[in-house]
Structures are given as C-alpha cells and as structure tokens.
Amino acid sequence: MRVLHLDAGKEMRGGQWQVLRLIEGLAAADVESTLLARAGSPLYREARRLGWRVEAIGLTNAVRFSRRHDAMHAHDAHGHTLGAIVRGAPLVVSRRVAFPVGSRWKYGRARHYLAVSQFVKGVLVQGGVAEEKISVVYDGVPLLEEARGASVLSPATADALKGAPLAVEAARLAGVKLVLSNNLEQDLRQAGIFVYITHSEGLGSGVLLAMSAGVPAIASRVGGLPEVIRHGENGLLVENSAEAIAEAIGQLIRDPERARQYGHAGRQTVIERFTVDRMVRHTMEVYRQVIS
C-alpha cells in the first residue's frame, strides 16, 4: 500500500506531530508514504531529518504523486482543498478542529473522514457529512518517561482560540509561576501540573502528552477534551475563568496525593486508549476500506 500525505501547516503543532507518528507507524507495517509539506516548514525539515520521503506541497506535485499512490490523506485544511481538486487516488481527510464545516463542495469530495473525537464527528454530521463516511480515530502519543518535577506548565501559543492569557492570569491568582513551553516532550519531565486552556478544541494532543508522562492535567471543559479527561478521576475539567482555573491549580498543590492519583490514572488512560499503535491501526483500517 502507498499513501500520499498532504499537510501545508506553517507551524509544528499537534496535527503535524501526528503526521510524523503516523508515517513512522505505517512504515513499520510496510506501508510506503510520501509527504507533501510546505517547503522549509518545521514539518518538512523534521520529515527530512527523519529520512521520510517529502516534497513541496502544491498542485503539480499533488497531481503527479496522486497517480502513484493508492490513497491520499489530507491532514489540514489546505491539504483537504488540494486533495479535493486533484483527481486521482481516493481521498481520506483527518478533521482535527472543532469549528463548523465550511464549503459543502469540498466536504463532499472526500471518500472518508477521520474525526479526532466524537465531538468533531458531531460537527461533521451537523455540517452535512454522512455519518457512514466518518470514523473516530483518536490521536496517539508516545509513552513518555514519568515526570519528576514540580513546575506548573502550559503550552506557549499565540493562537487566539487558545487560552494562554487566561492560564497566566490564573497562575497569578494561585500565586504560582507558570512555565510556558514551546517543547512539551522536553519540558514535561520537570512538570508537576499541566494546564491546558482553550476556547475551541478537537481533542487536545498536548493534554495526552502530559497524561502520558503522568502529569496531572487541568483542562477546559470544551470540545473533545471531556472524552480524554474524566473529571475527578484522571484530571480536572474547568470552566474558562481565571478563578476556576486558579482554584483547580490550588487543589492539586494542596493535595499532592490526589495529584499523584490523577497523574497515574491519566497515564493509564493513554496506555489503554491513546497510543500511537492504536491510532495507526485504526487509520490503516480506513485506508483498506477506501481502496477495496
């Protein structure tokens, strides 16, 4: 089986890391992948560094390579548009975002959708995509070494849909220093609490990384995040107010045993439901379905 991946992302965010993990998992299963990515982007450079086949994304390359592959897999909005235009291998689209469906024409072109959560599946159905054309395939993350630190960590982002300013204000109210991270896998080693605040979320791969490292997570009660965190069992869900977030931070600081239990339960959740192997296996099932 040969799969052409399309991703025009300018930044290295959760979706781009999923592309690399998928390509690696597919290679282990003897599936050949070619990635079309924005030339010079972090994804392009990282794929090259890892030795994967990668070319510049664009209409000419999409047309040329689609004829040599059994399926196309679009991983972002631009890739989806490009795949919808190209006539060639059947198109599979990963839908990771929670905002409403836009172009009905574009969304009618794909053979199948991989929704990153049940919440996102619901958004697709509301947008007119037939339910039988949608499979929920959760993100997969590596199982990180268990954290041994005490810092309060949150992702660094300028995305207006994310809640970095709220997290900063909450940390101030809680009287703690908040570390804003550009490299979660590295910085989680020193974390004791992970704060993930957002106004819109398909699933939350950053939360999954924290949980894989056994770091107790506090996250917004929005989008697909309640499919990851069971409030009071493997983490805490909060409303998007600085006061509510600060209170959750204070709870975990005042009760380190509860924090430890949440961290352990979160790590177990990843092992059971959100591994890379599981993500790759379910994605391959969809590939087989669309090319059969």
State residue 123's pLDDT score: 96
Encoded tokens for 242: 């600085």
Closest among 126, 84, 94, 122 to 13, alpha carbons compared: 94
Q: What is the pLDDT of residues 115-167, one digit of tens each?
A: 999 999 999 999 999 999 999 999 999 999 999 999 999 999 877 778 889 99
| Domains, the chain, ordered by start | 2-138+276-291 (3.40.50.2000), 151-273 (3.40.50.2000)
The reported pLDDT for the residue numbered 158 is 77
Q: Which residues of the chain are modeled with pLDDT < 50?
A: none
Using a CB cutoff of 8 Å and minimum separation of 24, what contacts does 219-222 make? 219/195, 220/163, 220/196, 222/98, 222/198
- Predicted local distance difference test score (pLDDT) of residue 103: 80
pLDDT for 88: 84
pTM: 0.92
Distance CA 4, CA 54 (A): 10
- Amino acid 122: pLDDT: 97
What is the predicted pLDDT for the residue at 104?
A: 79
C-beta neighbour count of 219 within 10 angstroms: 28
Write down the pLDDT at residue 52: 97
Measured CA distances, 270 to 17, 94, 141, 207, 211 (Å): 16, 20, 8, 10, 7
Residues 84-89: contacts with CB under 8 Å, at least 24 apart: 84/109, 84/110, 85/59, 86/59, 86/62, 88/63, 89/4, 89/291
Buried b (16+ CB within 10 A) or exposed e, 124-134: beeeebeeebb
Look at residue 242 in the predicted model and tell me its pLDDT: 96
Say what the pLDDT of residue 159 is.
77
pLDDT at 38: 97
